[in-house]
Structure 1
Amino acid sequence: MTTPTPGAPAASDKLDGAVLKIASVVVLGAIMSILDVTVVSVALPTFMAEFDTTYATVAWTMTAYTLALATVIPVTGWAADRFGTKRLYMSALVLFVAGSVLCSMAWDIQSLIGFRVLQGLGGGMLMPLGMTIMTRAAGPHRVGRVMAVLGIPMLLGPICGPILGGWLIEAASWHWIFLINLPIGIIALTAAFMLLPQDKPSPSESFDFLGMLLLSPGLALFLFGVSSIPETGTVASARVLVSAGIGLVLIIAFVFHALRKDHPLIDLRLFKNRNLTIAVTTSSLFVVAFMGAGLLFPSYFLQVRGETTLAAGLLLAPQGIGAMLTMPIAGNLVDKIGPGKIVMFGVALIAIGMGVFTQVGAETSYVLLLGSLFVMGLGMGCTMMPIMTAAMQTLTDHTVARGSTLMNIVQQVAGSIGTATMSVVLTNQMLDRGLDNMKIMSQHVPEVVAAEPPGTSDSILSAAADAFGNTFMVALVLLLLTLIPAFLLPRRKPVAPAEGESAAPMMMH
């Protein structure tokens, strides 16, 4: 059976021209999808003013996108097998770009939230499909280098998103944070048509409709409940408990269903692969800690230091620079010595940088803060993609799509839990210090200070900084817990699965 794999022979470890062309297409799509999460984050105050609504309401422009991502990801693995990765990837690009254009034409906050759902349905398929296309093209022996390439948009998104969003809003209008996707999308679509290999879909497996009816709504309801915690201020509210509870029941029901069905929507029997299980556990803890903390860095610069959105985005740049320095090196080493030692080294570096932020004050030196972000970036380049590599290296061609889908779902859920956790901790820390929640969420702390009697500004800024420091401490503890499963990751060069080997041994042994 022929496969659409233009990879080099096993003897060559370098990514050849054909694979790099495919990588350029995949990276373009991934950049659009990931950028869109962070670009919108800096536009929330603008949406509040433009549509005359509250922070809690405009925050759903981000949450709706996340929920749509989580809902569509489970279907991606089956659809890739059924329709082929190239056709599905191009369809996802069209859906994403159409949603982006509609978002730019939104007439009220409700329409914007609705169009963000449409955008998320397309965006949710781009990353798992990209991972599948790249892994098939390069072959198992070069997965580390492939993941390093795919890590570029995952790093650039959180760094460039706030900078790009702040600049577009200041230079033009909020509409352009969505319209920017139109020219990029057209280029990506043209490149996908010309450069992606023709694939031969294998529609032998029937679609698991019951699995979809259980898992997709289950994930959406669970994440809706978790995402409502910052707005309600407590886990004990009916909105959180009912939504998350029903979602959890549906997810548990799916687990029982998937373990009994021959071709489930998500193949949970992949967890019988020890390396994948350890990698998923490590990834979950890491994403909860790091993605949650990622929310705090720009907020500190905006709220405590009174920086503009553009300046706050620029101040995060050292993190991206550090990651770009170590990611290619880590990707090369993973294919030679395994991911275990590299991941533990990366987590240790991030912990050192995070430790500085646990002691942050209202006037902490920017040199110290930016240096810490740079060190954390160095660690990030050694962490996220090597963890993904540990999971993907042992998967056979047939299980790559299912494995990448599984990893993406876990990361999406973990990211939502991390963001909600840090939001709740920070809000409660602020309230414990007598700082009004709505003021903090809708404007910078220095502006709150201006309304206070003379002589109280230092104490307010100091209290706000302490709240951030204590929240960073929670993130640091979660990060250190990541070292436990990371210790069990492979520490030697992986043995690639035999060519043409079926997925069955992987699922059953």
Structure 2
Amino acid sequence: MMRENQKWMVVVAVLLGSFTMILNNSMLNPAIPTFIDVFETDVVSAGWIITIFMVAMGMTVPVTGYLGDRFGKKRTYLIGLALFVVGSIIGTFSWNLSSLITFRALQGIGGGIMMPLSMALIFEAFPKRERGLATGVWGIASMMAPTIGPTIGGILLETTSWHYLFITNAPFGLIGLWFAWKYLPNTTPNRQVQFDKVGFFLVTLGVGSILFAFARMSSVADLTHPTNLILLIVGIIWMYLFVKVEKQVQQPLLDLSLFRIPVYTYSILLTTISSIGLFAGIFLIPLLIQQAFGLSAIVTGLVFLPSALFTGIFMTVGGRILDKKGAKGVITSGLLVLAVGTLVMGFMSIETSLAFIIFWMAIRGIGNGLSSMPSTTTGMNAVPDRLVSRGSALNNVARQMSSAFAVVFISIFYEVRRGQIMTSSSTFSLEQASVQAINEAFIFVGILTFLTIPIGYMLEKKSKEEDLKERKMEEKKQAVR
């Protein structure tokens, strides 16, 4: 068993890598207009800078479980982080749009390797009753980085040049590499693991097609575009074939038998829905602050900061409660707080103060912190140790797909409802119509979150039953000794 300080250095090592990767990706969002001017291109072409990262990462995640088992988790994680750092450094020297998109794809492959293995490495370092706090601290990266990234990106663009969006990754990434090389535990490669070639082919095409289609959609016209419809249909067919094949192979790429574990299945459902809620907020608030209220991107970032701060604090609080008392109560409490906070955000007007928005965004942060990472950790705790890498990869696939779907769904909903409100009433200004559409989106997400509370309850109940079984088995073993 590792010493206490060694275990926490594992968390620091993977947190550095994860935070750098997620922060960089979110920093690039406000830079699209800049790239359009610099490379003299259009919105669709420049959008590939964001799209290619998401698609490359989504296509890489499914194979990460196999790579970690076959070559060792530490070695594979180091390769993933190194790819991301190299992509960042050479991205600084991009000479045209095509080269930048290529280097962003390299970053995405590195990120797809890093994220699932981060959790797997933490699970190897910590015993079951200490993982809640550890994953809560690590989860700060995945929750805080997307909220502060656009603000940092905006400041860098205003004060320097776009090159600094990439080169700033280098020192943090290199520090992360050193920490990972020094502190991550060596894991023994399993030479007996076989590569599921057919499964890899099917899931890569399936996930890639669906994510590519989602990335191309931002309006109703995009939703009904023949190319996008074909991509979605083909992607779904590939995924259906993938599921059929995985049920038959002896060593599947993604072990779908994990869904036979009720606790894990409930946690995946909550992960999927919580990702929709998280990215809906990340999408809607900038629209509210900048389009409806006419304020700057920096103000938008400041509105997000308390939410990010409270999410981070209560992730660690929720993790500590999970370790000491188990899952009962903490996840459902978080979901209830999150649902209430989200619903209240559905009753704003053009006169609503920033203080109101900041307060209720902070309340949402508390709910998110108490529910998101504790539910994921509880589900992963139910996975056998030998399958942790596969379980983490499957969890990340669900998160990638649901977050992409959330952005597509909310953006189209916003566009359609705002248009309907404007045409149905001549008394509504464009700003008022925008606020009303945002309100309705928040109400929908709030109701969806309320509907997850029974799932959270079932997760807590099943987790308690599993804990009791484990304790009885442990008592029997001790009695035999």
The TM-score, its normalising length taken from structure 1, stands at 0.87
CA contact 1:339–1:389 (8 Å) conserved in 2:
no
Supply the AA of the counterpart residue of 1:237: H
Q: Which residue of 1 aligns with 2:10?
A: 22
1:482 aligns with 2:452: yes
**d(CA) in 1 for partners of 2:94, 2:444:** 38
Residue by residue over 1:45-98, the C-alpha shift from the partner in whole angstroms, topping out at 9 and shown as x without a partner, is 322333333333333222211111110001100000111111111111111011
Are 1:148 and 2:148 counterparts? no
Query: Do residues 301 (structure 1) and 289 (structure 2) align?
Result: yes
Contact 1:141 1:496 in 2 (8 A): no
Question: Can you list the C-alpha shifts for 1:383-412, whole angstroms capped at 9, x where unaligned?
Answer: 110111121112222111111111111111
Moved more, 70-79 or 157-166: 157-166
Asked if 1:288 corresponds to 2:258, the answer is no
Unaligned segments of structure 1, at least 5 residues: 9-15, 436-455, 502-509
Deviates more, 1:100-109 or 1:147-156: 100-109
Using the alignment, how far apart are the partners of 2:99 and 2:66 within structure 1?
Answer: 31
- Please list, as runs of the form range in 1=range in 2, the aligned pairs for 1:3-82 lying within 5 A after superposition: 6=2, 16-82=4-70
Q: Is the 8 A contact 2:270 2:372 kept in 1?
A: no
2:210 to 216, 222, 240: 222
Equivalent-residue separation in structure 1 for 2:429 and 2:152 (angstroms): 33
Partner of 2:431 in structure 1?
A: 461
- Determine the structure 2 residue equivalent to 1:495: 467
Please state how far the C-alpha of 1:242 moved relative to its aligned partner.
0.5
Which whole-Å CA distance do the structure 2 matches of 1:305 and 1:291 have between them?
21
Q: Which amino acid aligns with 2:45?
A: T
Q: In the TM superposition, what whole-angstrom CA distance separates every residue of 1:349-368 from its partner, at most 9, and x where no partner exists?
A: 12222223212222211111
Identity %: 29
- Listed as ranges, the gaps of 5+ residues in structure 2 are 474-481
After TM superposition, the runs of 4+ consecutive aligned structure 1 residues lying more than 4 A away are 491-494, 496-499
Tell me the CA shift for residue 176 of structure 1: 0.9
The Cα of 1:234 is off from its aligned counterpart by 4.5
1:121 corresponds to: 109
Q: 1:318 offset after TM fit, Å?
A: 1.1
CA shift, 1:434, in A, is 4.9
User: Which residue identity does 1:464 align to in structure 2?
Assistant: S
Aligned length: 468
Q: SS in structure 2 opposite 1:243?
A: helix
Specify which of 292, 301, 308 is matched with residue 313 of structure 1.
301
Whole-Å Cα distance in 2 between the matches of residues 262 and 29 of structure 1? 33
- Hey, what's the Cα distance between the residues in 2 that align with 1:235 and 1:340? 41
Aligned to 1:422: 410
Query: Where does residue 389 of structure 2 map in the other structure?
Result: 401
Contact 1:394 1:495 in 2 (8 A): no
The 1:383–1:73 alpha-carbon spacing in structure 2 relative to 1, beyond 3 Å, is same
For 1:468 and 1:108, the matched residues in 2 are separated by 37
Offset, 1:308? 2.1
Where does residue 241 of structure 2 map in the other structure? 253
C-alpha RMSD over aligned residues: 2.2
Amino acid at match of 1:127: M
**2: CA distance between counterparts of 1:459 and 1:166?**
28
Q: Residue deviations 1:87-138, cap 9 Å, x none? A: 1111111110111123222233333222211110001111111101110010
CA distance in 1 between partners of 2:152 and 2:467 (Å):
42
**Residue type at the aligned position of 1:419:** V
> CA, structure 1 residues 104+361, in 2 after alignment: closer, same or farther (shift >3 Å)?
farther
Superposed displacement of residue 295, structure 1? 1.2
1:271 has 2:259 as partner? yes
Alignment partner of 1:471 is 2:441 = yes
Q: Which residue of 1 aligns with 2:118?
A: 130
- Residues 341, 361 of structure 2: 8 Å contact kept: yes
Moved more, 52-61 or 396-405: 52-61
Question: Which residue type is aligned with residue 238 of structure 2?
Answer: L
Aligned equivalents of 1:313, 1:56: Cα separation in 2: 25
Corresponding residue of 2:478: none
Alignment of 1:240 with 2:228, yes or no, is yes
CA distance in 1, matches of 2:451, 2:40: 42
- 8 Å CA contact 1:394–1:497 kept in 2: the answer is no
Paired letter, 2:124: R
CA distance in 1, matches of 2:193, 2:339: 45
SS of residue matched to 2:317: helix
Contact residue 395 and residue 403 of structure 1 kept, 8 A = yes
Does the aligned pair in 2 maintain the 1:143–1:392 contact within 8 Å? no
Deviation at 1:381, TM superposition (A): 0.8
- Residues 454-505 of structure 1 show CA distances to partners (whole Å, capped at 9, x for unaligned) of xx99823212222222222232232222223222112465639989x9xxxx
- For the 8 Å contact 1:324–1:381, the answer to whether it is kept is yes
> 1:353-432 alignment to 2 at 5 Å?
353-432=341-420
Distance between the aligned counterparts of 1:96 and 1:269, measured in 2? 32
Tell me, yes or no, if the aligned pair for 2:147 and 2:282 is still in contact at 8 Å.
no
SS at 1:316's partner residue? helix
Counterpart position of 1:13: none
1:317 Cα offset (Å): 0.6
Matched residue of 1:252: which SS? Answer: helix
TM-superposed deviation, 1:267: 0.4
Give, in whole Å, the separation in 1 of the partners of 2:278 and 2:10: 29
| SS of match in other structure, 2:307 | helix
Deviations 1:423-451 (A, max 9, x none): 1111212333459xxxxxxxxxxxxxxxx
Asked if 2 retains the 8 angstrom alpha-carbon contact of 1:58 and 1:109, the reply is: yes
Give the Cα–Cα distance (whole angstroms) in 2 for the partners of residues 75 and 143 of structure 1: 24
Query: Residue 279 of structure 1 contacts residue 388 of structure 1 at CA under 8 Å; is this kept in 2?
Result: yes
Distance 1:113 1:359 in 2: 40
Q: CA deviation at 1:419?
A: 1.0
- Higher percent of residues as helix: 2
Q: Which amino acid aligns with 1:364?
A: T
User: Could you say which residue in structure 2 is the equivalent of 1:334?
Assistant: 322
